[in-house]
Structure 1
Amino acid sequence: MARILLAEDDEGLRTFLAASLRNAGHQVADVGDGLLAERLLDEGPYDLLLADVVMPGLDGVELARRAAERQPGLRIVFITGFAAVALQGRDRHRLGARVLSKPFHLRELVQEVEAVLAQAS
């Protein structure tokens, strides 16, 4: 079981993602914006940050930068429909992040999370 911090501003999507990850056996803290997610970092450590790139308050890339500073080695997966535009390759590689592009099936999400967590082992 992994501890996952999920930051996604679309409430319906966030609910489905969190439920899917919980059904896969993970502990999930889910919030609707980057600033709230940043506050939850202090309740870590987390095994994985799953963050939308475009969010109110604090975007996912900046959230990931701050999270990686606080918790080196944190695994990061961005979920976005704007990956090519909003996420510079340099940022993604520097953070060691993976990108899951919307739309995706919940099964794909769980598989991606499992693959990223397996790399951490």
Structure 2
Amino acid sequence: MALILVVEDDRLVRRLVREVLRAAGHNVRTAVDGRRGLRLLASATFDLLLTDVLMPGCDGLEVIQQAHRLRPGMPIIAMSGGGQWLKPDKCLNLSNRLGADRTLIKPVSPQRLLDEIRDLLGA
């Protein structure tokens, strides 16, 4: 199956997504923030990037921009539950404009997540 990078600062969400993807047969690497995610992205060839948008320090918008530079053509899914000052749809709209292939509002069902990944990977 695919090698997927998950960049998510919320420990519980990161663990749940990792387990859902692994149960579906994917290989998963995780990063707790955007900076670590970008380091991983530069060190391996991933089939797909799944990133949270709102994270401290290096956010998902920067991750999306740098991912296009580092791995052109790699599919990107952005996820957001919004934040104190920003609704999820605003975050995801920005993600779309920066080149995310798909956007998902958290919480997202495991089946929806897997369907989107399957569609993007053509599997």
- Tell me the TM-score normalised to structure 1 length: 0.89
Q: Deviations over 1:85-107 (max 9, x none)?
A: 22445x51451521011121112
Closer, same or farther in 2 for the Cα pair 1:112/1:101, shift >3 Å?
same
Q: CA RMSD in A?
A: 1.6
* Alignment partners' CA distance in 2, 1:35 and 1:18: 19
Structure 1 stretches of 4+ with a deviation exceeding 3 A read none
Partner of 2:118: 114
Give the helix-richer structure, 1 or 2. Answer: 1
Amino acid at match of 2:3: R
Amino acid at match of 2:110: L
* Alignment partners' CA distance in 2, 1:78 and 1:97: 8
- Tell me the TM-score normalised to structure 2 length: 0.87
Count of residues paired in the alignment: 118
Unpaired segments ≥5 residues, structure 2? 83-87
Unpaired segments ≥5 residues, structure 1? none
* Alignment partners' CA distance in 2, 1:102 and 1:88: 14
Tell me if structure 1 keeps the 8 A contact 2:65–2:98: no
Partner of 2:91: 86
Tell me if structure 2 keeps the 8 A contact 1:7–1:31: yes
Alignment of 1:45-56 (within 5 A): 45-56=45-56
* Alignment partners' CA distance in 2, 1:26 and 1:93: 28
* Alignment partners' CA distance in 2, 1:49 and 1:23: 18
